[in-house]
């Protein structure tokens, strides 16, 4: 059996991820609610721009000043849940998978974040969005880019969850000079990052479509998305340097995914 070199990098404890997730979620909810109330007080948080594109017979009445329409409530819940899910829960699960492999049992934290939050939340986000769209006419709008990307994102998240389950059950072969990890274990993290990128584009599309683009949203987007990309890129770079320090060539250190020398087996 091939031996795997040990790592000298600091081990990151995942003993309290629930507290971290709770605090991050609380901060984001507070900031998002503050933004929603600010938009409402300024009179800009209305459904009129979208209602104008529908059929007059199917339009819901625009709320009077100081009141929220049913559409306002639905689209606010839709947006807040999407931001919490794709700005916090998804990046947190990805970082657990990237940095937590030295922590025994890391996979259960990743699984819980995705299975108990991301998947149910994505389904709820889709239902809220479709219900809000139905107020203005047809639920399925072929010409709406945000609508189309949202449906694609829903199936990507469900497929990613299924792929994660299959990847966890797939056996790892330990013979030298052969693929140590099956293809599903290689594709799962790659497709996960791609799905996250699509979700961030989707949030931006939704904000622009409803005319709620503000500086606060830009700041939150930079903090959560930019911060995750920097930290995740650092984790990948550290892994490449670690492989090279173990005696592998730079080429194999970068492109050695799936081979017996690519990385240590995860501590499940």
The pLDDT of residue 78 is above 90: yes
* Residue 230 belongs to a domain: no
Domain that holds residue 198: 24-94+106-221
| Domain presence at residue 3 | no
Read off the pLDDT band of 191 (50, 70, 90).
very high
- CB 156 within 8 Å of CB 124: no
Phi-psi region for residue 13, left (φ > 0), alpha (ψ -120 to 50) or beta? beta
Residue 218: both structure tokens together: 């830009």
Q: Does 56 fall in a domain?
A: yes
Tell me if 203 is assigned to some domain.
Answer: yes
Chain centroid to Cα 12, Å, comes to: 21
Q: What tokens appear for 51 in the block? A: 């209602």
The whole model's pTM is what?
Answer: 0.70
CATH code (residue 210): 1.20.120.1770
| Cα first-last separation, the chain | 19
169: CB partners within 8 A, 6+ apart: none
The SS3 call for residue 175 is coil
- Split into its structural domains, the chain has a count of 1
Q: Is residue 101 part of a domain?
A: no
Eight-class DSSP state of 179 = B
* Structural domain includes residue 240: no
In this prediction, what percent of the chain has a pLDDT beyond 90?
Answer: 36
pLDDT in tens, 210-220: 777 778 888 88
pLDDT band at 9 (very low <50, low <70, confident <90, very high): very low
Dmax (CA) of the chain: 72
Question: Which residues, 6 or more positions from 244, have their beta carbon under 8 angstroms from its beta carbon?
Answer: 250, 253
Q: What is the pLDDT of residues 34-75, one digit of tens each?
A: 455 555 555 554 444 433 444 443 444 445 555 678 888 899
């Amino acid at each position: 059996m091939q031996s795997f070199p040990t790592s000298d990098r600091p081990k990151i404890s995942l003993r309290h991820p629930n507290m971290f997730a709770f605090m991050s979620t609380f901060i984001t909810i507070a900031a998002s609610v503050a933004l929603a109330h600010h938009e409402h007080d300024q009179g800009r948080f209305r459904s009129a721009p979208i209602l104008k594109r529908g059929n007059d017979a199917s339009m819901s009445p625009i709320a009077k000043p100081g009141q929220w329409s049913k559409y306002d409530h639905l689209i606010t819940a839709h947006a807040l849940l999407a931001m919490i899910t794709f700005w916090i829960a998804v990046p947190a699960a990805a970082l657990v998978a990237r940095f937590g492999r030295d922590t025994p049992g890391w996979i259960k934290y990743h699984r819980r974040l995705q299975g108990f939050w991301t998947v149910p939340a994505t389904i709820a986000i889709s239902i809220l969005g479709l219900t809000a769209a139905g107020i203005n006419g047809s639920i399925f709008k072929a010409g709406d880019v945000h609508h189309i990307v949202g449906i694609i994102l829903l199936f990507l998240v469900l497929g990613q969850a299924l792929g994660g389950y299959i990847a966890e059950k797939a056996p790892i072969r330990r013979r030298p000079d052969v693929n140590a990890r099956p293809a599903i274990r290689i594709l799962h993290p790659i497709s996960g990052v791609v799905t996250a990128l699509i979700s961030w584009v989707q949030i931006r599309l939704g904000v622009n479509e409803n005319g709620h683009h503000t500086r606060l949203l830009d700041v939150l987007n930079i903090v959560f998305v930019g911060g995750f990309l920097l930290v995740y890129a650092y984790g990948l770079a550290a892994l490449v340097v670690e492989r090279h320090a173990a005696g592998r060539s730079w080429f194999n250190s970068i492109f050695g995914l799936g081979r017996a020398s690519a990385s240590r087996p995860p501590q499940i």
